[in-house]
Amino acid sequence: MKLLTTLAATALSFLFTSASVIRSPNDGPAFPQDFADPSVTEDEDGTWYAFGTTGNGKQIQVAKSKCLYGKWNLLDEIDAMPKPAAWTTGRNTWAPDVHQVADGSYVMYYSGEVAANSAHHCVGTATSDTITGPFVPDEEPFACNLTIGGSIDASGFQDVDGKRYVLYKIDGNSVGHGGSCSNTVRPIVSTPIMLQEVGDDGVTKIGDPVQILDRTDGDGPLVEAPSVVRTEDGMYILFFSSGCYLEPTYNVNYATSMSLQGPYQRAERPMIRTGEYSLQAPGGATAVNVRDKVGIVFHANCPAGRCMYTEPTVINGREVKVAM
C-alpha cells in the first residue's frame, strides 16, 4: 500500500508539474532564437536535449531543458559536430536528429551540403559516446543519390519489437523545374518519404528502403521532414510538412496507419497552419512519446529566424490536434 501511495503521489506530482510548465503556441516560442528543424531526445537522467540546424555560430546547435514543454537554454559552449564530414561543405548542415543505440552510444542523422555539388544535400550519420557530442561523422553519406536530388530530413525510430528504422525525404524538388520551392513548374518531381531498416547501431542498412508517402497536388511542391511515433494502441502517426518553407503554405501535417510500412491515411487538413496560434510558416516537426502521450517540436518564423515551439497533442481516433 505504501508503494502504491508513493507511485500515485509521484504521478500526481508529475501531472501538476507538467501542467504548470506547458506553453501554448500563443505564448511564443519555447526557445526564441534561430533554431530551425529541431529534434529532441530525453536522456537517461530525464534531461531533454534539442538539436537544431546550423546557426548561432554552431554547425549543430544544442539546447537543454528539464521539461519538454518548459524553458530551453542554448548550450552556447557546445557544437555537437564541430568537425564536419569531408563529403560536405561544412556549411548549412540541416535537421539533426539524435538517438541512443543498443551499446549506449548515440547516433546523429543530419543533412549535409554536398561538397561536389552544393545545390544538393545528402543524409549523413555521426556517432558519439555522449549525447552532446562531439559527434564524429562517418566518411560516407547514408543516403545520397544526386540524380534524384539527394536526400534530407532523416529521423530515427525504434519500434516496439526493437527494430530500428531511419526515415528520410528524397529531395526531388532540388532538381525541379522552377516555381515554389523549385517544384511547381511541370513536370513536377517526386519527393517521396522513405523508410530504411537499420541494425542495432542505427547505421547499418538492412534491406532496401521502402516508400511510405509522396507529395500530392494538394501538398504543393513537396512533402518533407518525416517523423513517426507509435501510440499505445498500436497506431503509427507520420508527421511531415508540405508546402514551401519559404512561404506561408508551409505546415505541420500528418497521416496515420496501423502498420509502420503503411499505407498511411492522410489527415483531412494539416494540424498546424500559418495564421493559427499567431504562427507563420510552421513546419519541420519532430514527434516523441512523452509518458503515454505524444509531444511535438517544430519551428516557425520569428524575428530571430525560425524559432522552436514545443507542444503536447491530443489524439482522438485518427485525429491529432495541438493540446490547447
What's the rounded Cα separation, in Å, for the pair 124 and 138?
A: 7
Q: pLDDT over 90 for what percent of the chain?
A: 90
Predicted local confidence at residue 265, as pLDDT: 98
Cell 532496401 sits at which residue?
A: 208
Pick from 97, 91, 59, 94: nearest CA to 78: 59
Q: What is the tens place of the pLDDT at every residue in 58-80? A: 999 999 999 999 999 999 999 99
Average pLDDT over residues 282-307: 97
Question: For residue 310, is pLDDT > 80?
Answer: yes
Average pLDDT over residues 163-169: 99
Question: For residue 214, is pLDDT > 60?
Answer: yes
Q: Provide the mean pLDDT of the chain.
A: 93
Q: What is the tens place of the pLDDT at every residue in 98-109? A: 999 999 999 999
Average pLDDT over residues 190-214: 98
Predicted local confidence at residue 27, as pLDDT: 83
What's the rounded Cα separation, in Å, for the pair 129 and 132?
A: 9
Question: For residue 324, is pLDDT > 80?
Answer: no
Judged on CB neighbours under 10 Å (0-12, 13-18, 19+), 235 is middle
Average pLDDT over residues 171-184: 98
Predicted local confidence at residue 321, as pLDDT: 96
Q: What is the tens place of the pLDDT at every residue in 8-53? A: 333 433 443 344 456 666 688 999 999 999 999 999 999 999 999 9
Predicted local confidence at residue 8, as pLDDT: 36
Predicted local confidence at residue 21, as pLDDT: 56
Question: What confidence tier does 302 reach under pLDDT thresholds 50, 70, 90?
Answer: very high
Report the 10 Å Cβ neighbour count for 4: 8
Average pLDDT over residues 151-165: 98
Q: What is the tens place of the pLDDT at every residue in 88-129? A: 999 999 999 999 999 999 999 999 999 999 999 999 999 999
Question: What confidence tier does 239 reach under pLDDT thresholds 50, 70, 90?
Answer: very high
What's the rounded Cα separation, in Å, for the pair 97 and 216?
A: 26
Lowest mean pLDDT among 2-11, 14-23, 274-283: 2-11
